[in-house]
Every structure is written in structure tokens, then in C-alpha cells.
Amino acid sequence: MPDGSGAARLGVLSRPGCVGLCEQCRIRGLAVCRALEPQALDELAALATRLELPAKKLLFDEGEPARSLFTLVEGVVKLYKALPDGRRQITGFLLPGDFLGLAHFTSYAYSAEAVTEVGLCRFPREGFLRLLERHPALERELLSRASSELAAAQEQMLLLGRKSAKERVASFLLSFARRQAMVGRELVALPMSRNDIADYLGLTIETVSRSIRAVEEEGLIRLVDRHHYRVVDPDRLRRAAAAG
Amino acid sequence: MPDGSGAARLGVLSRPGCVGLCEQCRIRGLAVCRALEPQALDELAALATRLELPAKKLLFDEGEPARSLFTLVEGVVKLYKALPDGRRQITGFLLPGDFLGLAHFTSYAYSAEAVTEVGLCRFPREGFLRLLERHPALERELLSRASSELAAAQEQMLLLGRKSAKERVASFLLSFARRQAMVGRELVALPMSRNDIADYLGLTIETVSRSIRAVEEEGLIRLVDRHHYRVVDPDRLRRAAAAG
DNA sequence: CCGAGCCCTTGATCTGGGTCAATGCCGGCT
DNA sequence: AGCCGGCATTGACCCAGATCAAGGGCTCGG
């Protein structure tokens, strides 16, 4: 259990209701971002409210006024954009510690939906932006996160524009394992549906299913069940993903 | 000709060698970003060196150590990522006023190449980062730019993952016209090759050619020559692009 | 423990866009 | 002006992945 200064260092995530979540946060959370002064963390904590949502619950919808920003504390969230006729593109899956809601304008540019049960910290937009002005270190952290998201988006454009179905699936399985720091034989959870994977990779569920099967039959991964796999041969998987 | 304080407001772009470029910059340049103190502008200006490149010249290559950051002053630059076997995905075209080179790590995550003759201001990475620390307003500007780039990247993922060839081409023609603030009947320049358009839209040159033709035959645009078009029917073009 | 419904997988067929193959055309050089 | 080389267009054909169509097997509620 963190003492007073420990609580300050863990910021918003060590508030009542967040106990037990600090493990992830220490690794990935906004609260422990480099060089953020205890002062800023306390102010962040004062601003935050805790939020829990069941799986499949919409967090916010594209075009809706952006009133809040969030850090994901627990569970998985998907971000997506949709066309009027219902075609969807999932632009990313968020894991605990990820930040969401930075809107360039005053409304969200994408929708966010809980994939699993999720726990979040919510920050009201106004207060957060004022806090941002007073704490350049926080702004730096956001800039750093935005540029790594941008790099990930560019990688995804390469995938969507130029990779074959099998390469897409291999890339996805590899990068998802990587994000959980599991490229060995540890079990990797795949909490989203085949439909979500398809909408993330620009494919159909049938093609996703067949491609996963193909990757498994080549011995690059081992499917434990629909929602769990092991990376069996990281090197060949990397090659099947056309580098990454 | 700007006086002393005018020169300061226009920052790096009103230095010797940049005369005559201020028109674009006043509209889009980094130098006039909101609320940037004259002090910061002068420091930026002191840091900048002017750089000219012919068309097709590589500015930097993916993976190369990121020693510089740039603002594009004149011409068009393309950013791309490539796979080992040569497949390419262009992730964006930059117009005057755009900023490039923000690398999350110490090496560039993509390549940058001049599409036309270009003029740039170059900032050495070290100096720029130090300057960033002293001027939160500059950092805010970069964050704002990064988030609008991110929104553009998400839009492009939707295009690459879910739109048909004709929708992609319509979206591209529309957004390119928009970025030049020309959605009426003004002539829009299309300086890049069909190959570049194909690599941007995740298509082949043949499909790009056929799709442009189709969009023209439906009377949505008028092709003046290979590198110039007019938007004839913005509304129907918007619909053909599946909204945008 | 059983049944219903929802995912998911697997198979058969179809098609949008890729590939291959001629031309056509423009711009630069002599 | 005329030629040359690279880019663009156009046409014929093909294939990866979409679509259509059956099952199969978790999961959850009763």
C-alpha cells in the first residue's frame, strides 16, 4: 500500500476505487509519466473521477462534443470511425495506461467502445486543458504519446494499403503480443471478436478466420482457444508479417 | 516589407533567403502559430537554416538518425514507409506551412522525399528540443498539429480499410482541393505522379487512372490535364467520397 | 445438464481491382 | 522539328479476398 508520497507519485490511479490497479499503472499509466511533478499529479488526481463500464458499452460517439478525456485503467477499448452505410474501420485498441479523448476540435473525431469490462479515469475537458497550461511536463508527455500514436497509425496505413491478408493477421498477432510484452510462449489474450479484428485489419471475418488458421498451420502461433494464442516462432512470425 | 517587429512575428520565414515567402507563411506557417511570443520566434529564426531541394530528392530515409526537424516553406513533400520487397505506402503529402520530422525515437519512422522543387527551414534537433523546453507555447502548437495529423491518419485508415477505389479517388481529389481552399471551380494542381497517388490510396496506377476517369465521366470533376483539375460538383463529389 | 443463440469456421462461388500487355502522349534534348 | 524515354491510359484476363451458404461449438440461462 503506497504511503503519502507514493500516492502522489501514482497520481489519479491511487485514489479510492483504484486500489489494486497500480501495477499496470506503474508501467504504462499517464500518472507516472516521466518527470511529472507531484504537484501536477495531485491536481490531476483532484480532477479525476472514476468510471466503470460493461463490455460493448459506448464511451463516446464520433461527432459528439468532447467534454472529457480519459485514461484507461483496466480492460480494452476500441476506437473506430464509421461510414454512413455502416462500414467501420477500427483505428486502434487501447490497453491499460493508454490515454484517449484528445480532440483537435471540440468534438470527438472517432467513437470509443468498451471491448471488455473497463475501468477509466475521466477528466473534464476544461479543467484538464487549464491544468495542461500550467504544467508543460504534462503537455510534453501528451506530445510524446501523440507522436508514437502517429507512428503506429502510419504503420497501420502501410498494413491496410499494402499488406496481404496473411501479412495483416501476422502483423496484428505479433504487435498485440508485443504490446503485452509477450513474444515468447506466454499465453496472449485476444479479447476482441473476429468482427473487431476484421474491422481493424480491413478484412472480413471469414478471411480473418482463414488467415489465422493459415498462420497456425505454418506453426508460427498456437491457438489455444478463440481468444488465446501463443507465439511459437517469433522470427518466422515477424517475417510473415513482412517485418515489423 | 516587414519592419523589425513584423520580421519577428514572421519568424524564421522572414530571414534572408526567405523574402517573398511570407504570404504562405502568414496563413499556415509554424512561425505564426497562435500566441507564440516574439522571443520564441527570434530564437527559432536564429536556429533555422534555409534548404532547397530539387524534385525527387530524398530529404531523409526511414530509420536514419533524426538530426533535424523542418518546416516546409515551398513545394510539396511526400512521406512514406516501405516494405523490404519494395511495396510502398505514402502516408501523407505536405504543403507549405507543414511541419515534419517529429520522431518519437531518435530515428525517423518514415522517409520524406521532395515531390516538386521544395524550400525548407531546417532546425537541428538538439537546439529545437531545448527551445521547446523553454517555450511551452511552441510545444502546444506541435501538440495541436500532431492531433490534427492523427485525425487525418484515422480518416486515411478508414479510406484504406473500407472504401472502394472510386471512393478513395473521390476522397483524395476532394481533400486535396480542400487543403488548397479550392472547392469551387478554381484550378487545383495535382503535382504528384499517378504512382504516388496509387501508393497513397493503396491502389495501382491503372486503377487510379480508371477511377479518375470514372469520376470525371460522372461530371464530378473536370480534368484539365494530367496534373490539373477542377471540382465541378462539390456536393456529388462529397457523396462519391462516402462523406468526408 | 440441456438448449438456444451467437460467434466462429469451413466450403463454394463471384467480383473488384490487380496483373500483364499494348499503345498514346507529353516534355526535354539534340 | 523530330526523336526518345518516361509517364499515363486503355484493354484483356486473372486472382485474392469478398460474398453467400452451411454447419460447428462455446457460453450462458434455465
Q: DSSP for B44-104, please give it.
A: HHHH-EEEEE-TT-EEE-TTSB--EEEEEEES-EEEEEE-TTS-EEEEEEE-TT-EE---S
**Partners of B68 in beta bridges:** B124
Nearest Cα residue in chain A from B133: A136
Q: At what angle do helices A125-134 and A38-47 cross, to 10 degrees?
A: 170
Percent of chain B topping pLDDT 70: 84
CATH of the domain at B106: 2.60.120.10
Compute the average pLDDT of residues A220-234.
94
The answer, for B129 touching chain A at a CB cutoff of 8 Å, is no
Residues A116 and A62 in one domain: yes
Option in A157, A162, A202 nearest B162 (CB): A202
The answer, for B39 touching chain A at a CB cutoff of 8 Å, is no
Interatomic CA–C1' length for residue A146 and nucleotide D20, angstroms: 42
Residues B29 and B143 in one domain: yes
Residues B141 and B167 in one domain: no
Residues A65 and A174 in one domain: no
Name the amino acid, one letter, at B182. M
Q: How many CB atoms lie within 10 A of CB A119?
A: 19
CB contacts under 8 A, B 192-211 vs A, are 199, 201-202
Question: How big is chain A, counted in residues?
Answer: 244
Residues B201 and B185 in one domain: yes
Looking at strand C, which nucleotides approach a protein CB closer than 7 A?
7-12, 16-21, 26-27
Q: Determine whether the interchain pair A147/B104 forms a contact, defined as Cβ–Cβ distance below 8 Å.
A: yes
Mutate to test the interface with A, among B104, B129, B164 (most CBs of A within 10 A): B104
Q: What's the pLDDT band for B148 if we cut at 50, 70, 90?
A: very high
Residues B56 and B110 in one domain: yes
Q: Determine whether the interchain pair B154/A104 forms a contact, defined as Cβ–Cβ distance below 8 Å.
A: no
B56 φψ region: left (φ > 0), alpha (ψ -120 to 50), beta (else): left
Domain final position from A101, A129, A157: A157
Task: Give the pLDDT of residue A8.
Answer: 32
Residues A15 and A109 in one domain: yes
Q: What's the pLDDT band for B32 if we cut at 50, 70, 90?
A: very low
Rounded CA-CA distance B105/A144 in Å is 9
Residues A32 and A145 in one domain: yes
Residues A152 and A95 in one domain: yes
Count of domains forming chain A: 2
Q: Does residue B41 register a pLDDT over 90?
A: no
CATH of the domain at B188: 1.10.10.10
Domain final position from A157, A180, A210: A157
Angstrom distances, CA of residue A231 to CA of A173, A178, A235, A244, B119? 8, 10, 10, 15, 47
Compute the average pLDDT of residues B95-120.
92
Q: What's the pLDDT band for A202 if we cut at 50, 70, 90?
A: very high
Higher pLDDT: A42 or A1? It is: A42
Residues B138 and B30 in one domain: yes
* Pairing verdict, β B221-225 and B68-74: unpaired
Residues A210 and A235 in one domain: yes
Residues A71 and A149 in one domain: yes
Rounded CA-CA distance B21/A172 in Å is 45
For B194, the domain range is 163-240
Q: Determine whether the interchain pair A242/B110 forms a contact, defined as Cβ–Cβ distance below 8 Å.
A: no
Domain final position from A104, A130, A157: A157
